[in-house]
Amino acid sequence: MRTLLAIVLSAAALASCTPETSSHADVTGSIDNCARKLYSQYNPKDKKQCVAVCITCERGVMTTCSTACTLRGAI
């Protein structure tokens, strides 16, 4: 009985770990369009531009956007 319960709980935990597709993926290109509205020559490797686009277009906050841009290679 405990084995069955462990299997069911493990399956439920794994099912909850599926990646999100609608809230974080830019399927429509709306973030690129937003970035072009802010900067005609948008350079995602420029940290100031990257953070500004993240905050404005992705509705982020300074701390997480700065970290995300650094991890993406912005200088």
Number of domains in the chain: 1
Q: Which residue has the higher pLDDT, 70 or 1?
A: 70
Q: In this structure, is residue 70 part of a structural domain?
A: yes
Residues 6-39: tens digit of each pLDDT: 787 777 666 665 554 444 555 577 888 999 999 9
Global pTM value: 0.62
Residue 22 domain-assigned (yes or no): no
Q: What is the mean pLDDT of the chain?
A: 82
Q: Does 4 map to a domain?
A: no
- Structural domain range at position 37: 29-75
Residue 65, in any domain of the structure: yes
pLDDT of residue 47: 95
Domain membership of residue 41 (yes or no) is yes
Q: What is the mean pLDDT of residues 44-59?
A: 94
Our measurement of the distance from residue 52's CA atom to the centroid of its chain's CA atoms, rounded to an integer in Å, reads: 15
Q: Is residue 5 part of a domain?
A: no
